[in-house]
A = this chain, B = another copy of it.
């Protein structure tokens, strides 16, 4: 069984822990066949090959356990999504491992697949959360209302965006730790207004409006110290025609909407370089999810 799982953008502006958007690329490719042994091989970006440390393998094992099937597997991973980039790299691998085994066993139940994938994700990030796995599974733009029971609203958003990948690391764990337990009610209301408006703008295909609504008062203010370069990147993007720009997940990847995505991408890469950070950009459509 071969599956390919794409990168995803969690949060997507005001939708902290709720919105997720599926990209078309980059992708992880995972090949699995049942076997007596357990063997994991990795090409591409480097991730652990130990079966209890590899995210895809952990979620594959979890799915086998849930299904009550005693078997091992041989797994080959072509890791195309850079780990710790903020593009749901561990979520994609976790989903891939679970999905490949589920398909081998003819299991279609999305909740079982998600439960297994979350166990894999937990190995990488410490806390299981679904805002990368769910959009990678469903494709499009998703509003994750609830994980268990699974309640997802999906928009088949048609848009292109530019993603900029700087060579810095932002610890997902640290990005969680800096968040306060309580936030001002006024900020909760502002995000709620932005998020509801963004969903409508997206549904109406008004990409310029979507870009303008890419703001966040719930996580961004507290995470600013972890991404001290963000204001300069934002300024460069807006000065070069971006409708809006935001952090993918907890970063460091940045994405922007606009007309001339190449120009915006080059401008942001330039702004990173002024901060002595190497960066590259790519352009992707919204994707249809794991295959």
B-binding residues in A (CB < 8 A): 14-19, 143-146, 151, 153, 155, 179-185, 187-189, 191-201, 203, 213, 218
Contact = CB atoms under 8 A, between A and B. Distances in A.
A203 B201 contact: no
B155 A200 contact: yes
Main secondary structure of the interface of A (DSSP, over half): mixed
B143 A14 contact: no
B193 A196 contact: no
A17 B200 CA distance: 17
Given A153-B201, A182-B183, A201-B153, A143 B196 contact: yes
Given A182-B184, A185-B183, A200-B203, A193 B14 contact: no
B145 A197 contact: yes
A196 B15 contact: yes
17 contacts: A14-B192, A16-B189, A16-B192, A17-B189, A18-B192, A143-B200, A145-B193, A145-B194, A153-B196, A182-B182, A182-B185, A183-B183, A189-B218, A192-B192, A199-B200, A200-B203, A203-B203
Contacts of A187: 188
Contacts of A192: 14-16, 18, 188, 191-192, 195, 218
Contacts of A181: 184-185
A123 to B, nearest CB: 24
A183 B185 CA distance: 6
B153 A18 contact: no
A190 to B, nearest CB: 9
A155 B198 CA distance: 13
Nearest to A182: B182
Given A182-B182, A201-B153, A19 B188 contact: no
A144 B182 contact: no
Contacts of A155: 200
Contacts of A180: 185
Nearest to A143: B196
A195 B197 contact: no
Contact of A18 (B18, B193, B199, B201): B193
B18 A185 contact: no
Contact of A19 (B145, B151, B196, B198): B196
Nearest to A219: B185
Q: Which of A181, A196, A213 has the most CB of B within 10 A?
A: A196
Contacts of A16: 189, 192
B188 A143 contact: no
Given A14-B192, A16-B189, A17-B189, 17 more contacts: A18-B189, A18-B192, A19-B196, A143-B196, A144-B193, A145-B193, A145-B213, A153-B200, A181-B184, A187-B188, A188-B192, A192-B195, A192-B218, A195-B195, A196-B196, A196-B198, A203-B203
